[in-house]
Amino acid sequence: METKAKIGIMGAAGFTGGELIRLLLNHPNITLVSLQSRSQAGKKISAVHPDLLGEIDLVFTENLESNLDIIFLCLPHGESKYVVNNQQFGTNTKIIDLSNDFRLQANASDFIYGLPELNKSKIKGAKNIANPGCFATAIQLALLPMAHAQKLNNDIHISAITGSTGAGIKGEPTVHFSWRTNNISVYKAFNHQHLGEINESLLQLQPTLSNEINFIPYRGNFTRGIIATTYTIFEGSIEYIKDLYKTFYKDQPFVFISDINIDLKQVINTNKCIIYLEKQGNKLLIISIIDNLIKGASGQAIQNMNLMMDWEETTGLHLKSIGY
């Protein structure tokens, strides 16, 4: 029997760390060896993630074990860069960072931007991966086919709403139930941090892109998921656009084009992105949906791991949506 890859997670007590544990427990090619959390060191995993009672016997540790094959960094923005620059890892250890620290080219060092639908060949040969942001994933997947066809020639307008888990487990008061329930709000209008990586990816495919990307993010009154509505001026037919998208994503196992309007529950608890396209006059509407914790974070990180390790891309990610 082939030896299984030894996995460690730094920041395993948070939302993305917990989601990684849940997904990796059913991955056939790995063994969870070391789950680090300074704040929860010494506690059982199920004391922090109660749904994992009976699923895992490990406890959180102050530090990671050595000689790991793959390390996932689920740390607050800014901490990953410090860890990578100051902590010794094994010569052959691969790192997948889920923070914002290495996503932009100016900060990338030897990290590859891990959007499989854009950089699959580079990911396969990478030692370190910068996992994309959740909003960035939903928005980029909505726009990549247009950029590839050099068709983003007008301003782009985006509204997207995310669940409370997008703010992290130590978020501001705006993630608390008493504030979030029956409530909705705009934040970081026009200057959200994910715009940088979105711009870089689109320019990678359409170097002449110079139009405005106007992004309004919303805090939603639900726990998980992102729905993004994007529109731009486009004079071509809806048939052309649908064919463009279906052709671009034909070999991508987690992106699907729907012929009927979509809703968020279709992707919750899956690694899918589903896209719906509609024309109204000269306006093209693109609706994209993902689970922010899976395709927008932990699931995409595992997808990247599979590519890096030359495993089947969908391994451990055959997941069921909640449906209702």
Identify whether 134 is a catalytic site residue. Answer: yes
Of 129, 134, 138, 244, the active-site residue reads 134
Q: Is the CB of residue 186 less than 8 Å from the CB of residue 217?
A: yes
324 residues of the chain, pLDDT tens digit each? 468 999 999 999 999 999 999 999 999 999 999 999 989 999 999 999 999 999 999 999 999 988 899 999 999 988 999 999 988 888 899 999 999 999 999 888 899 999 999 999 999 999 999 999 999 999 999 999 999 999 999 999 999 999 988 665 555 666 667 677 888 999 999 998 899 999 999 999 999 999 999 999 999 999 899 999 999 999 999 999 999 999 999 999 999 999 999 999 999 999 999 999 999 999 999 999 999 999 999 999 999 999 999 999 999 999 999 877
Look at the alpha carbons of 93, 98, 103, 107 in this order and tell me if their dihedral is positive or negative: negative
In the 8-state DSSP scheme, what is residue 293?
T
| Largest CA-CA distance found in the chain, in angstroms, rounded | 60
Q: Is the CB of residue 40 less than 8 Å from the CB of residue 17?
A: no
Cα–Cα dist 220/204, whole Å: 31
Look at the alpha carbons of 88, 90, 92, 96 in this order and tell me if their dihedral is positive or negative: negative
Whether CATH 3.40.50.720 fits 134-293? no
Angle at 105 between CA 19 and CA 232, to 5 degrees: 80
For the record, the structure tokens of 278 come out as 């509609």
Residue 173 pLDDT: 63
* 3-state SS, residue 227: strand
Cα–Cα dist 243/230, whole Å: 18
Cα–Cα dist 250/242, whole Å: 12
| Residues of each domain in the chain carrying CATH 3.40.50.720 | 5-132+295-308
Cα–Cα dist 324/317, whole Å: 20
Cα–Cα dist 192/118, whole Å: 21
* 3-state SS, residue 122: helix
* pTM, two decimal places: 0.94
Residue 1 pLDDT: 44
Please give the C-alpha separations between residue 287 and each of 52, 60, 61, 132, 227, in angstroms, as whole numbers. 34, 39, 42, 19, 7
Residue 192 pLDDT: 87
* 3-state SS, residue 31: strand
Which fold, 5-132+295-308?
Answer: Rossmann fold (3.40.50)
Question: In terms of Cα–Cα distance, which of 258, 237, 236 is closest to 246?
Answer: 258
| Residues of each domain in the chain carrying CATH 3.30.360.10 | 134-293
Residue 226 pLDDT: 97
Look at the alpha carbons of 142, 145, 148, 152 in this order and tell me if their dihedral is positive or negative: negative
For the record, the structure tokens of 137 come out as 């994933």
Residue 230 pLDDT: 98
For the record, the structure tokens of 255 come out as 């992106």
